[in-house]
Chains A and B, each alone.
Chain A
Amino acid sequence: MAKKIEKAEVPTASSEEASAFVTALQEKFQRKKRTPEERERLRKYLAEYSRGYLRSIARRVLIDIMKGPGQTPAYGAKSKPSRRPTGKRAARSRRKSAKP
């Protein structure tokens, strides 16, 4: 008998959420050199988020890359702190709630 794959809800972050997450990452790490210590710091930073949350961000980033720049937010280009919808504080708060 043929097996059937059921529809399953796979969470996908919104473009705005992914953009805020990536921008926060870039603000935290991009100005620093990519040393083994910084890589380790990045790994630890990402480890504070649940896998599900990171996957939802990764899904959106992949979708937006394929889509092209026209229809997606600029990811980091408009990231001046005063205009950012979700700053570090918000990101921390979300991180806590996203922990497993």
Chain B
Amino acid sequence: MSYDTTRDSEQLRVIDPSIDDFIDRYNNSSGLADGSRQTVFLFPGGMACKLKRATAPYVDGVSTPQTFAYHTAWLEPEMLVWPDDVPDLEMTKVAPGKYRDKDDRIIVADGAVGYLGCTPYLGFTIWCKLKGLDYFVFGWDWRRRHEHSGRFFVKKFLPYFQARVKDECNNADPLANFSLIGHSAGGMVVNWILRKNDANVANMRLAITVATPFYGYAGQVHRWFEGQAPFNGLFNAFRKKIIKTICSFPACYAWMFLDEQTYTDNQAALAADPKYPLATYPSTDKTTGAIADPYNPQTNGALSRYPAPGATGFDATELVHAKKLVQYLASDLDPALAAKFFIIRGDTTANDTAGSTTWDWVPPTDPSPIADGAGVPGDGTQPAWTARHVGLAAANVITVNGADVEHTFTMSSPTTLGALAGVLGV
């Protein structure tokens, strides 16, 4: 079995106990108030899925299936203190679109992160139980290209899940009435799955995104230069390694503010958002105010926009690929698909979400060339203007307000869950 095939097979094996849990819940639930059954799959946010790393490397050239033991690689409280494990998440590109994990030790996803007894999805799962929804939290590897996670879900996971549940739940079909819910970057995977409209999901009732960016956000562009606290460590001792690790993650390239072409194509619609208009392009040069398109980085003599590939592993070809993806995810939807696409976006009413960035030329990369613009309405992480696809009907875009709809924990917010109940009809 190849590395990719082994990873997929291991991913299913690691998910198995979560399917056991689903089956237990299914067999011990009477379903919705009217007795009917409804399955919801939750895709947690980027960085909000737990990742596990094999304790031994995959070996090439072995014909028999390989299985491994795993330990948690993301996210452990100890990482605050000893972040030297974070670079173990680094990926290596072995061919265009093909990646391996560091030292060939396979990494798989397993549900949502929990951190010192704190998980962003606890409220959601309790709510599902109270409502009688049959829920499954689908951990996905947020480092990999979103379409890899989407394809795995549709082609590998869903048939496997359906067969197991039917087998152990008196032939009940968990996909007879099912919806996908994606939080934050998890919504980008849901958006991709909806658009691909594979036969395996043709029966999907609803695709719902919560606090998902359709046109990027400010946080990612900082990470190319600043790494990610608190894993940079004391006096930034680990920052270079953290930046190199982040630069190796293909998914992160698709998290930046929208490209100029997408902006131009949707400028009028973005400006016409009745509640949260986007008046100007959100990424501009620090000095001139000219457009600084993250997906079409210009040069200025010897100066450029991104850190040097040699030192950081920044991958310009990944940027090209990500541009195609973000354009695809922001493009017009088939009307039949748009009808089952719902969006929930948050506004904490604090007006302190970074809604734009300015960009200086590099080098130097330290201090960071990125600065956030003025705060705008949003959930503290995603500006409200980005968390709505402009092509959807007003009835399919729900805005929730209040301090409890803060981005990371919005899936445990009674306000957000109330909106979700309305969409799902429960």
Contacts and interface: CB of A to CB of B under 8 A. Distances in A.
B47 A3 contact: no
A69 B45 CA distance: 17
B226 interface: yes
B107 to A, nearest CB: 18
A61 B80 contact: yes
Nearest to A42: B81
Interface string A39-68: 100100010000100110111011111111
Contacts of B126: 5
B130 interface: yes
A10 B413 CA distance: 10
A71 B426 CA distance: 37
Contact of A22 (B80, B220, B228, B354): B80
Contact of A69 (B82, B117, B118, B228): B228
Contact of B115 (A62, A69, A79): A62
Interface in B204-243: 217-220, 222-223, 226-230, 232-237, 239
A66 B408 CA distance: 7
Contacts of A76: 229-230, 232-236
Contacts of A73: 229
B118 A30 contact: no
A65 B412 CA distance: 18
Given A2-B33, A25-B81, A62-B118, A69 B414 contact: no
Given A66-B408, A68-B219, A22 B230 contact: yes
A31 B404 CA distance: 38
Contacts of B237: 30
Given A66-B45, A67-B380, A77-B229, A59 B409 contact: yes
A70 interface: yes
B233 A70 contact: no
Contacts, number: 147
Contacts of B117: 51, 54-55, 58
Given A42-B78, A66-B47, A30 B234 contact: yes
Max chain B C-beta neighbours (<10 A), residue from A7, A46, A64, A76? A76
Given A61-B80, A63-B409, A64-B229, A69 B223 contact: yes
Given A69-B222, A70-B372, A77-B235, A26 B381 contact: no
Contacts of B368: 69
A37 interface: no
A75 B230 CA distance: 5
A27 B407 contact: no
A74 B408 contact: no
Contacts of B408: 59, 62-63, 66-67
Contacts of A66: 45-48, 184, 219, 381, 407-408
A2 B223 contact: no
A34 B78 CA distance: 9
Contact of B120 (A1, A57, A62, A72): A62
A23 B234 contact: yes
Interface string B278-315: 00000000000000000000000000000000000000
Contacts of B131: 2-3
Interface of A: 1-7, 10, 19, 22-23, 25-27, 29-31, 34, 39, 42, 46, 51, 54-55, 57-59, 61-77, 79
Given A31-B234, A62-B115, A62-B408, 10 more contacts: A26-B234, A42-B81, A62-B48, A62-B120, A71-B352, A71-B354, A74-B229, A74-B232, A77-B239, A79-B234
11 contacts: A6-B414, A7-B404, A19-B229, A19-B230, A51-B117, A62-B115, A63-B380, A68-B220, A71-B352, A75-B232, A77-B236
